[in-house]
Homo-oligomer: A and B are copies of this chain.
Amino acid sequence: MRMTARPENVHQTRLLRLLRDEGARSRAELGDVVHLSRSKLAVELDRLVELGLVEPAGLAASRGGRRSNIVRLSRHLRLIGIDIGATSIDVAVTDGGLEILGHVSMPCNVREGPDVVLDHALDLVGKLRGQGLIDEIHGAGIGVPGPVSFREGVPVVPPIMPGWDRFPVREVISQKLGCPVLVDNDVNLMALGEVHAGLARSAEDFLLVKIGTGVGCGIVVDGRIYRGMSGSAGDIGHIRVDDNGPTCVCGNTGCLEAYFSGAALARDALAAARSGRSAFFAQRLEQAGALTALDVADAVAAGDPVGVRMVREGGRRVGQVLAGLISFFNPGLVVIGGGVAGLGHVLLAEIRSVVYRRSPPLATGNLPIVLSELGDTAGVLGATRLISDHIFSAT
């Protein structure tokens, strides 16, 4: 495996991240920002060009003297983001600036185990390669729907991923793709996606709440992912909402996920269809033979009162849990994402209403609670951001 070139010192790291986040810059402009002497800056940039990480890109407009040379990240840099969800895989390829060049996905049940699922993921990378979007791959980030030992690059006792416990995901994919690889929890990567390109760009401490098949939370402290002692930080799906609630897959009663998640919504929609309480769901069930959270979104859009009520009650439960977490963590921003975020403003209004009533005024005074604007790309984008932070670090 050919090793991807890495920067050799903090100045080179700083220059690479500037070019990634701000785009092409003239040498003069870079000098203004990094506070290096002109000759020292030239040495570092020349070295980055030699390493194949940076390339010249013509002359800048004059600032009164000699025209300065523009540099940019090498156009040949390619990063892969792989987002393995409970029921789907997304794969994207970006350039060094994390612009998405191609994005493909397929349905896939994570319960099929690592061999099958990772083969599918590699097939999707092959598909992007077939589109002529990839030559050499410089790094890949992978998200999985469960707790991860970030240091070791393996899932750890992931509840909905049978067969994945301590499977060497990082090592296997690194060998197959011939590049550095990092593995993280999928919700953490969505949070990183928001840090890079979403509403959290300027937030230091924020929470990304993902409501999909399950419910999870990405925690960002000082612009970096907080993973906790054993990599399970943000695992909020089984926080108790009520002692006398429905039984959860985890065996406890009254967990948040048992009240509100993609799975819980599908269950409640089915019950409403069968009991005759909702003509909308009954008709859908007859047509499709099954119901999912997407049908609930359609019910809300169609104004079905049973669907609207389900979302409002779910939003209230999410809001209760979130109110406690906001009291505790005092974040600067909360972003709601994931499939169920498609339920949109009905959900958001209910969450906000509970949080603003139940959290301390000091914690909510300047607290925006918003829906993610990144949609399906948050996870894959976060994955490329993760690996890019790694390969753009001095070794």
A interface list, Cβ under 8 A from B: 147, 156-157, 204-205, 217, 219, 221, 226-236, 238-240, 250, 252, 320-321, 323-325, 327-332, 357-358, 360-363, 365-367
Contacts and interface: CB of A to CB of B under 8 A. Distances in A.
Contacts of A329: 219, 228, 233, 328
A366 B250 CA distance: 20
Given A240-B320, A361-B157, A328 B217 contact: yes
Given A252-B358, A324-B321, A328-B217, A366 B236 contact: no
Contacts of A320: 240
A197 to B, nearest CB: 22
A331 B240 contact: no
Nearest to A320: B240
A150 to B, nearest CB: 12
15 contacts: A227-B330, A228-B329, A228-B331, A229-B363, A229-B367, A230-B330, A231-B362, A233-B328, A235-B330, A235-B363, A238-B327, A239-B323, A324-B324, A324-B325, A328-B328
Closest 8 CB pairs of A and B: A228-B330, A233-B330, A229-B332, A239-B324, A232-B362, A232-B330, A232-B363, A229-B330
A330 B235 CA distance: 9
Contact of A147 (B157, B221, B358, B362): B362
Contacts of A147: 362
Stoichiometry, copies per complex: 2
Residue with the highest number of chain B CB atoms closer than 10 Å, among A156, A325, A357: A325
A93 to B, nearest CB: 32
B240 A324 contact: yes
A327 B239 contact: yes
A327 B257 CA distance: 13
Nearest to A229: B332
B327 A328 contact: no
Given A221-B221, A229-B367, A320-B240, A234 B328 contact: yes
